[in-house]
Structure 1
Amino acid sequence: MRVAFNVIDETIWFIDRPHEPWTVQAEARAAGRLDDERLRLAVRSALARHPMARARQAPWRFWQPGFAWEIMEEPQVDALSIVDCPDDAALARIRSDLYGHPVPLATSPPLRVRLAHHAAGDVVLLGVNHAASDGLGTLRLLASIVRGYAGAPDPVPDVDPLAVRDLRTPLALDGLPGRIRHAAALVTELRRPKARIAPERAGDGPGYGFHLVRLDAGDTPALGSRRPPGATVNDVLLAALHLAIAEWNAEHGAPCERIGVMMPVNLRPPERRNEVVGNFSSFVTVATDPEDRGRPETTVAAVTAQSRRVKAGGPPGALVDVLATPLPRPLLLKEVTWGLLPFVLERGLDTAVLSNLGRLGEPLSFGADAGDVAEVWFSPPARMPVGLALGAVTIGRWLHLSFRYRHPLFDPGAAARFATRYVGALDRLAA
């Protein structure tokens, strides 16, 4: 069966680069040890349940108007590999290797899975080519793997997951005039220069580094009892990132006028907010100027006002509004267009990316033998000159933050220092 790429699939295909691949990170850590073959069966069960997890890119020619997926009955390659990690340093190398290499789309599935045996609990690492799915879809697929291993029920919504992929319908707004108005807002924002995070001890290697931080939400006042009035957890996470970037740049003597943080907006309907593997997210910019960052409360207020506008009237200036406007055809002209955009709009690209998947609706468990899922990690990619993507997901009382960075921006020590500054900014946001 063939299905067309939607506008987000196609966009990611064009901006993907081998040295900074657009892979989505999703990981689950077990309390105990996982059996290799039992996990292999769980992966195959998850692929069978979600059609886009079995997709491959159909052969194409530059004169065609667009790309298409072929949904395969069975995966063509074994997606799972098994590794032993004697310590955390070995696990970090496995993580960087998995997410730092492109996942091929020419064969099914468009993802790779690694089982890392570790003394502190085995880790299932899932890397999905972002052209095939967004963060929520990737986390949903990871949940299917965990439930399949445990032999637990894994219900899916009563919809055809391939028939709901057209993003133009939920973004119709008030028709073409509304789409043009929203596209104009995005173009205006892209024309405004954004600050760049000051690099520290950076190298020039390909791929990504990761710095993981686990916070007890109950012991982080800004996320709980002392959250600023009217602000959501997502607003607080966004505001802290704006403050951390401004303070980091001030420390390094780097300019920092307008900061823009790219934030995904989930386009799935509320009844299946966390369901269906695929790309169902648009992107908006949440921006602050120096006057917004004079005090923590003004930063939160500026961020909260923008997020409320998004919720009230749809994603203003959402990236997909521009993408839904027909680009030149055939594919050759589209590639030329996408190749020129970074040179035209690079100054207006956002400063960083933040994607918060929220709280897992129910605990995940690998079953009686391997125990509950103790940790869940997630992050989106970020190409230079952005270079930093912060992924957030909450399980129980624990907020998991994955600072994913390009090597031309940070080395591991610099990433750890930036993360510490971010946590400090969270603390200062407590009301």
Structure 2
Amino acid sequence: MRRPLLFELNLLLLPTCASFTLASLLGMSAAWFWPLAVLPYILRSLYYLIRLTGLIRRQHRLAPPFPRGLWGEVYRSIARYQQRARKGRKRQIRFSRRFREAANAVPDALVILNKQLRIDWANPAAARLMNIHWPEDDGQLFTDILNNPELDEFIEASEYMRPLDIAPEHNRAVMLSLRITPFGERKKQRLVVGRDITKIYHLNMIRRDFVANASHELRTPLTVIAGFVENLIDTPTTPITHRRPLTLMHNQTERMCSIIEDLLTLSRLEMDEKPGEQRAADVPDELHLIMQEAQALSGSQHRFEIEVDDALLLLGSEPELRSAFSNLIFNAIKHTPAGTRIRVRWDSDEDGPIFAVEDDGPGIAPEHLPRLTERFYRVDRARSRESGGTGLGLAIVKHVLNRHEARLTISSEPGVGSIFSCRFPANRMIWRDEEPQSRRTG
């Protein structure tokens, strides 16, 4: 920077000194000669300014040779900025090309929607799965092309935690699993991902039908067997040596009946995606009834703490909610030793109603937590069988909560205890006519 500045000073000072010298020799005022002396410097600067303006206006690439002096530094700086911009554009073009290639290779349908839910972009798989052809359908309303009443409700609700499974009108033989993710400025744009789950859907249907049919077929003979075994146990003429085997047979038959009942409950929950009867479920009354059964199941071996908001009701299916809540409470009794404190809580916060069952039992190791809601998964198989568990309770809880737009969270620490929490959306919360009152017993 020092040399260009010295060059500019020389261009300006040398003519100025010459004008003063000439004026002194001629005995005239320097004011007449100085403007003429600096005129070449002004014309030079004006030339390079006009030239630079023209180059920028034509978006011309600035290249050497550059002028000397400060104007050369200006030209070089702009050339460096142009070079950086060209490199940035090349990187952006390469990235866009790689993104398009990757998006085109993805077998799932990808659609980008603007804030008006109109199509901005779609990959080739969207044509096959959603009947969306881009760029032909650019600017079209997404719900006009993929027309489905459930999709309209799904988008209006803006609750994208779970996918939506639909059969598109253009191909009813395909089952799509749609996930919508907001992104962009203020989360106004949306990315729609459509996955073909037809094979998985049919496999689940086959499994569900098999379990339901097999359970129905097994329930009748097991009921008959259980009845005959019970009669033999109660018959006075039955030899004493036969009573123990008959009692074991009766217990195992009852256990099989419990498993079948739970399997039928699961099948029924899977058949209907939404609860049939939606009304104000009196959760407080149901919980107090469940706690009476829990006291009997425990045999006064556990310490119970109950905190229930008597004014808080819930929109949903009362039998299903009772099944879910009772499973969580009974599990706490069956899987914790005598003397364990069990706390049952039903209240709400700013996010909605919460049902929680907390115990200070042995706890659950972290590696087991992700699989607890799987069918027949047991942390301690021997203890679960001894306690009479079927291994289906938490699977039933998960299905019931999904049908009520709720989620189950499990936190546990070995040696400290476990907390099973059910979080319901705020729009399902209903209050009694009276002011909320909390009832706590121990």
Q: TM-score, normalised by structure 1?
A: 0.24
Question: Which one has a larger percent helix, Structure 1 or Structure 2?
Answer: 2
- TM-score w.r.t. length of structure 2: 0.24
Q: Which has the higher relative contact order, 1 or 2, with Cα contacts under 8 A spaced 6 or more apart?
A: 1
Q: Which has the larger radius of gyration?
A: 2
